[in-house]
Homo-oligomer: A and B are copies of this chain.
Amino acid sequence: MKERKIPKETIDRLPLYLRCLNKLIDQGEENISSKNFSSRLNLNSAQVRKDLSYFGDFGKRGVGYETKKLASKIREILNLDRRWKMALVGVGNIGSALLTYSGFDRRVFEVAIAFDSNPQLIGQEINGVEVEDVSNLSGRIAEEGVKLGIIAVPASSAQQVADKLVEGGVKGVLNFAPALLDLPEYIQLAQVDITKELEQLLYYL
């Protein structure tokens, strides 16, 4: 079912469908119509039907989609049906907030290992994770089989950290540093760029 033909825009929307479905399941709802989806997510219903059509015929006329079945399918497609070990590099303000962040689904995302260059932080334990010396970065993540890296260091050292993550065998990088990273094409990169979001907002004010 996981065909390469699914457009990126559809993939990008799947986490939103999933979040919406999880909320409905918590509320005991067994079905959702594409119309209901579209009003909750501010999408048009044709778009919703098209998005969901990529994943098999889940909709039933007059009833809509079964929430649990669809949620489990989306989790499968997004590879959320297994556990992912993450390495966090940089345990400053943002980094330590991420170590205790409650928004991660712990069944899926586990910060397995954390690094910093500050001798005062190395050896400390934050939320059950011991901070290790960043100079051992690539060796340690290779050892631990970590495939996801989170960069929360200053912009000036972000590229260097990214290179070490790649060297250690990471396949995906989530970058919080306000820096443009140059990575091999096979590495998936996502950027959380707080300043950029704010700057874009201001234009429209």
Contacts and interface: CB of A to CB of B under 8 A. Distances in A.
From A97, A172, A198, A200, name the one whose CB has the most chain B CB atoms within 10 angstroms.
Answer: A198
A11 interface: yes
Interface residues of A, number: 54
A40 interface: yes
Given A77-B203, A174-B201, 12 more contacts: A11-B200, A14-B203, A78-B203, A93-B96, A93-B100, A105-B195, A148-B201, A171-B205, A188-B205, A190-B198, A190-B200, A192-B197
Interface of A: 11-12, 14-16, 18-20, 40-42, 77-80, 84, 93-94, 96-98, 100-105, 109, 147-148, 154-155, 171-172, 174, 178, 180, 188, 190-205
